[in-house]
Amino acid sequence: MYARWVRVGFDAKRVFHNTTGLGNYARDVLRVLTSRAPEHIYVAYNPRPGEVVFELPGARLAQQGPHGLYRLFPDLWRQAGMARDLLADGIDLYHGLSNELPLWLERTGVAGVVTIHDLIFERYPGLYRAVDRRIYRWKFRSAAERARLVVAISEQTGKDIHELYGIPRSRIRVVYQGCQPEFRQPVPEARLAEVGRRLGVEPGFVLQVGTIEPRKNLALTVQAVASVPGACLVAVGRPTPYVRKVKDLVERCGLSGRFWLLSGVSTLELAALYRMAAVSVYPSLFEGFGIPIVEALTSGTPVVTSRGGVFPEAAGPGSAYVDPEDVDELGTTLAAILGDPDRRAAMRSAGLAHAERFRDERIAQDLLAVYAEALGPAAFEARAVAGAGRS
């Protein structure tokens, strides 16, 4: 039994203003908690009207924004004015979902928890502008130092927080990310055929999902797939200037007739693409976690990803691992998997088993345990998760 209901506030900027990674994480946290622990009250603090429609019918979820003069300066409210509102609203615990906490939160008595997704800008500074690195470093370090507990989305991120910022391991808790429920639901054959016709792709391709940027390493995949006779590559992600390099490489490698670059793909379309793919590739140089890996495993799609770092955590023992700078190794691995249906079936079975650790009920239980610890045992019991055991 829960000792009492609790009012939990969230940094909801990404919920309503980000359609990809951080936004998906924030929406999933709200979806999972409101469905698995519906007795509590959840308040989403959003600095301005957003472009993303997000609704959870029947959930005890309120939305709050700035008031008074702060309406003219919503970002200032999020940084410096929100703490007072949390106190006025009777918030027991505030969870910064995207690496930040409001200034002076620790002075209000409201328990602060922050999720740190990654410190890639510290590991690969050349991928970021100097001014952005300075801003990120100040925000992330400040939030981690002031939070009662820090949620890391992987053991790798937890290690980085400790080693780079000196945050004691005793204040870091690892809670994995999940993925949206659409990736667990069956996709009818008719739906697969309709998506394939509309997007112009046929089943059996190599799939890579993620922003088209250097760190995601699509150029490596292009060269590797080009070396496998008859193999086709579908890349799904938001384009950046890096896409020009990819397209030039596609031309030089002679992959033009076997390459599709898709953006603006809906979640339902992406779920269909995973099921149409023979294998999903994620040869990123570095990640805090890697949601496309979990999406693929959950969809029953074999995964090939990078060796080392966070990737074994996300992809599990049944996936294949390669050096993200070795075109030949990736090409050889893809050829072997594409040519061996029994191996694909074994990878699919192992991947589905590994994906169980990223189910909603486990994530809810782990988050509630963090909240209980941050608040103290008298305020919040996390032993029972409402709805535990449901899929």
Residue 385 placed within a domain: no
Looking at the fold, whether 89 and 118 belong to one and the same domain comes out as yes
CB 305 within 8 A of CB 315: yes
Looking at the fold, whether 102 and 196 belong to one and the same domain comes out as no
DSSP 255-277: -GGGEEEE-S--HHHHHHHHHH-
What is the pLDDT at residue 21?
Answer: 80
Can you tell me the distance from the alpha carbon of 176 to that of 230, in angstroms, rounded to the nearest whole number? 37
The angle at the Cα of 277, spanning 271 to 283, to the nearest 5 degrees, equals 95
Can you tell me the distance from the alpha carbon of 83 to that of 106, in angstroms, rounded to the nearest whole number? 9
Low-confidence ranges of the chain (pLDDT < 70): 1-4, 377-391
| Domain membership of residue 338 as a residue range | 181-356
Can you tell me the distance from the alpha carbon of 34 to that of 6, in angstroms, rounded to the nearest whole number? 12
| Number of domains the chain is built from | 2
- The model's pLDDT over 217-240, given as tens digits with 9 standing for 90+, comes to 999 999 999 999 999 999 999 999
Looking at the fold, whether 332 and 209 belong to one and the same domain comes out as yes
CB 245 within 8 A of CB 174: no
What is the pLDDT at residue 4?
Answer: 67
Can you tell me the distance from the alpha carbon of 338 to that of 279, in angstroms, rounded to the nearest whole number? 8
**Residue 370 is encoded by which pair of tokens?**
């963090």
Looking at the fold, whether 141 and 232 belong to one and the same domain comes out as no
Can you tell me the distance from the alpha carbon of 370 to that of 55, in angstroms, rounded to the nearest whole number? 25
Looking at the fold, whether 319 and 371 belong to one and the same domain comes out as no
Number of Cα atoms under 13 Å in the Cβ half of residue 296: 30
Looking at the fold, whether 237 and 94 belong to one and the same domain comes out as no
Looking at the fold, whether 366 and 328 belong to one and the same domain comes out as no
CB 62 within 8 A of CB 35: no
Kindly tell me the sign of the dihedral angle through the C-alpha atoms of 129, 135, 140, 141. Answer: positive
Looking at the fold, whether 169 and 264 belong to one and the same domain comes out as no
- The model's pLDDT over 353-391, given as tens digits with 9 standing for 90+, comes to 999 999 999 999 999 999 999 998 655 444 334 333 333
Separation in Å, CA 390 to CA 56, 182, 359, 364: 18, 15, 10, 12
Q: What is the pTM of this model?
A: 0.87
Measured between its terminal Cα atoms, the distance across the chain in Å is 21
Residue 280 placed within a domain: yes
Looking at the fold, whether 350 and 364 belong to one and the same domain comes out as no
CB 205 within 8 A of CB 232: yes
Looking at the fold, whether 174 and 195 belong to one and the same domain comes out as no
Residues in the chain: 391
